[in-house]
Amino acid sequence: QADFDDLRFTNEEENQSLDYWIESKSDGEWAYVWVEIDSIDTNNGTQAYMYYGNPSANSMSNYDNTFTKDYGESGFFGLWHMDEGSGTSTADSSGNGRTATLENSPNWVGSDGGEWDNISQQFSTGDCINLTHSTEDHLSIPHYSFTNNWTVMGWFWLDGYDGYGYSAIFTHGQLDHDNRVYVGTSSHRLGVYSQVNNGDCYNATAEEITLNEWHHFAVTVSSTEGVKVYLNGELYCINSSATGGWDNPTHDVEIGANTHSSWNRGMDGKVDEFRHYNRVLSEEEIKAYYRRHKYASPEPVYSVGDEEQSPYHIFDCSIINTSGTHYLAQDILNSGTSPCMNISANNIILDCQGYMIDGDNLADYGIYIYRDSEQTTNITVKNCVVADWGLANIYLYNADGNNLTGVTANSSPNYGFYLYHSDSNNFSDCTANSNYDGFYLHYSDSNLISDSKANSNDRYGFFLYHSSSNTISNLTVSSNTNYGIRIYADSDNNIIANSTISNNTYAGLYLDEDGSNDPEYNEIYNCLLNNSGTYGNIRVDSGITGENYFNTTEQSGTRIYSSGTRIGGNYWTNPSGTGYSDTCNDTDHDGFCDDPLNLSYGTSVAWDHLPLSDEYYQYCVCNCMDLNETGAVYYLARDILDSDASVCINISADDITLDCQTYSIDGTDSASSYGIKIHRTSSTSVNVTVRNCKISDWTYSVSLEYADDTTILNSEMSSNSKGLYVFNTDSLNVSNCTFSSNSDGIEINTCTSCEFSDSTFKSNGNALTIAHLSGTGSTFTGLNISGCTNNAIYFPVATAGQKFYNNFINCSSHLGYASSTGINSFNTTKQAGTRITDSDYFNEIGGNYWANPSGTGYSEICVDNDHDGFCDQTYELDENNIDYLPYAAYDPCNTTLYMWNGTDWEGTDSTYLAFWCRAYQTNCAAENQNSTTPIFNITMMSTGCQSNVIVAWINESLDQKTLFCANNSDPSTGLTVSTTKTVLYTNATYNESVGIWAWMNYANPQEVQYFDFYLKVEEVE
């Protein structure tokens, strides 16, 4: 254009527009342009591209975007931009913390100061400060020292002078003393004054400083070159003899005044952008700051190359009528031009490079591809963000064979993507959110839409209107106000696959017939449907002639949801997790529901014959088998009953977990049979876990040989010859298991560092048969052993090294052995812990509780005089096996209730007191009878109790009161106690849920030996 409004610049990669400013121009002839380049390669140079030729382009020249006040330099004493606009100080942007204070209330001007190289061009933001000499306005900066090798510069504006032509600009010290700096005017001319080494540059400028306009000053002081004074980027004065001894006063640094001098040379005018460097700037650097561009050394030089044709760059709404590649180089915002991008040529690539094409919600089209007749246009549109266009963000009319990728089309009052009679287009990684419709296909066939989103649209995510043979896959279609996907009229043979369709208001998908125009033969598979609206996941109109299919053939593939390696139908769920796929039976755990899902309605036929389930097990055990997949987790999927296999589950690989999920592995009591077998030929760390199993009717329920690091959890072994057989196995862990009705609950033939805990043994021949001659054996703790036919523990050899503690053993024979025993430990050290019995009363563990079915076991009859829960004597099973801390049975407190019958006290033994009072009765008894006319006061006192016992009462409103012991009181002497030891209830009532109760709250129950209650019931007149 003649006025240069169409100029645009991009970086070398052509993916970023560059800011520029036209300093000056002569329309139709020349323009002087500044372009902001981020960096320049010092070895190879840097290219930038200039574009022009768009007749409708508007100027993008912008001074503020091209220049800045701060280019990131260092080496400051202080830097004061003076842009705050209000307040009594201006910050030091150098980071040195030298804030300048506005003294005597100078004014903020409200607009930026300075200019550009004698052109009245300021930044549109920023401020400057106005000073008045008569009120001694100025800026003061706390003292800091600077001697040689420094530069000060800034912008000033003079409204006038004092009578001598003075105006102080930058000062330090007293004008009439040594060691001071004065930068300002004298006789209306700029100068520098110092009485050190003839450091002056009096009247540096020949011309007087012009009033009422901006000027830039700079002063450098060098230990080798002396003093230099610059005005508006030009050097005016040099004093080479002033090379040392500058400035050592203790006063503040001042801008616009010299208040420390006997005569104050203030100023009337404005100041802005003062910089004080701790180095000497060159003449070229000072000139660069005067012109507000970044200084570079050496100064870059440029050359202009030949004009090129393609690729093209676009900076505004355009008619793209030349084949080739076109790049959008900047955002287009709130445009009212329609269509904005009118692609009228074929074989075009439009790459928006992530920039936005934004409308004003009124203009019709963002990207517009329109042909009078249907044709292959071969246009690629990519990396575009298109929004807020009134009819459609992206519009294709009679346009076939196009590719759109990475395109976002949001927030149109109508359509995100609108295809009209446009076929065989490919959309990938596209987004259409918050429109009226996301994707609208109108008489458009054979399009491919993949990896795309259509969410939160006011009507439909996808609307197929008389559109067939489209493939739509890998979608997210969520939170649309009507339907996620609507397939209307004779839209046939479409495929919708591998997609998530969720949270849509009416339904996830709607098959919508229109008279005789039916949507038929559409295939929907491997989709996650999670909708709970008006019609649930799917709505099917009645009367659709042809079938619609909701599964493909079963085949390998990646599931949209739930575990599994094969695909077929869809996963049907809802937000509450109670959908068909969530609740269907999948007995073989192949990941498909056992029964198909019928979606038919009326005469319309629609089935999902392979609905997905969430019950898939990658390693599923349904029958006896070998588990040979290292690292696998196997799940037993159903009971194995009456198996005649010699080995049902053989675990031949390491690092396996078998989870039976409480299903059974049941045999037929065949000889030499194994329920679960884990055998190795030499010591091996198998790292196998068996859990949640029920194993019965085998010779060996679970058999381990050389199977180190095995864990058995939460399992039941019953009615076997051996509940668990262990041979030469180390580091076995058995916990929370039950062994019942086995010949041997557990048989061990050498088990080093093994642990058996928190398990139950019931009605076994021998609960534990242990053959371990020497070394570290096993630990047995938390076991509950009862009903042994033979022995609780049996040693077939001189077993040694075992440790038993905190177990409950209730068998007629606690320990049996063939001929002799080794030394084993039957207690741990006395310590705090949870007892296997009487844990409510005792909080220490040590040995074991030894009982027998007749109630005369050692723990049941031993003496415990100190009531600490341990027998006073040790328990010797034999000379090598002694429990030094056997548990004693809990002996409850002897409690007597004395009831006053009006004449005497009647006593009755009780360990738990619960009674009701009934009308017209003189005693309270442990019985429940209705009272409709309550007329009793109940008075209670207690005697002869330990001081640590508390008695609590609850009345009919369940409010609790407490009565403490009344030691040595005598109830026969008037039946009176103090108020604090009496609980009085008037009108006590009885019903089915509340009443009067009493109990003892034991702080240390083992210390309580007796407690007596005395209770008096009196009729109320």
Task: Assign residue 77 a region (left: φ > 0; alpha: ψ between -120 and 50; beta: otherwise).
Answer: alpha
Domain ranges, ordered by start, for the chain? 8-66, 76-290, 312-526+534-547, 634-820, 894-1019
The answer to whether the pTM exceeds 0.95 is no
In sequence order, which ranges of 577-692 are alpha helices (DSSP H)?
A: 580-583
Task: Give the C-alpha distances (Å, rounded to integers) separating 920 from 909, 993, 1020, 1021.
Answer: 24, 22, 10, 11
Contact indicator for 793, 803 with CB cutoff of 8 Å: no
Kindly state the tokens that stand for 848.
């074991």
CATH number for the segment(s) 634-820: 2.160.20.10
Contact indicator for 648, 660 with CB cutoff of 8 Å: no
> What CATH topology corresponds to 312-526+534-547?
Pectate Lyase C-like (2.160.20)
Which three-class secondary structure state does DSSP give residue 1005? helix
Going by the DSSP 8-state scheme, the letter that residue 887 receives in this structure is B
> What CATH topology corresponds to 76-290?
Jelly Rolls (2.60.120)
Low-confidence ranges of the chain (pLDDT < 50): 179, 893-902, 905, 908-1021
Measure the CA–CA gap between 167 and 257, rounded to whole angstroms: 8
Contact indicator for 351, 343 with CB cutoff of 8 Å: no
Residue matched to tokens 């009532």: 989
Contact indicator for 697, 666 with CB cutoff of 8 Å: yes
Contact indicator for 836, 784 with CB cutoff of 8 Å: yes
Per CATH, 76-290 and 312-526+534-547 having the same topology is answered no
Write out the E strands in 519-631: 523-525, 528-530, 538-540, 548-549, 555-556, 566-567, 571-573, 597-598, 606-608, 619-621, 625-627
Residue 298: asked if its preceding bond is cis (omega within 30°), the reply is: yes
Contact indicator for 372, 399 with CB cutoff of 8 Å: no
H or E stretch covering 287: helix 283-290
CA nearest to 409, candidates 424, 426, 429, 379: 429
- Give 147: exposed, middle or buried? Use CB within 10 Å, 0-12, 13-18, 19+: middle
* Per-residue pLDDT reduced to its tens digit, 805-829: 999 999 999 999 998 899 999 999 9
Who's near 530: CB < 8 A, 6+ residues apart?
500, 501, 502, 503, 508, 537, 573, 574, 575, 579
Task: Give the C-alpha distances (Å, rounded to integers) separating 36 from 23, 26, 64, 123.
Answer: 13, 22, 11, 16
Contact indicator for 662, 639 with CB cutoff of 8 Å: no
Q: How many residues can be counted in the chain?
A: 1021
- CA-derived radius of gyration, the chain: 48
Q: Supply the pLDDT for residue 204.
A: 63
Tell how far CA 496 is from the center of its chain.
Answer: 32
- Full strand arrangement of the beta sheet holding 894-900: 905-909, 894-900, 1010-1019, 936-943
Tell how far CA 263 is from the center of its chain.
Answer: 68
Who's near 277: CB < 8 A, 6+ residues apart?
75, 76, 77, 150, 151, 152
CA nearest to 828, candidates 870, 774, 772, 860: 870
Measure the CA–CA gap between 169 and 156, rounded to whole angstroms: 8
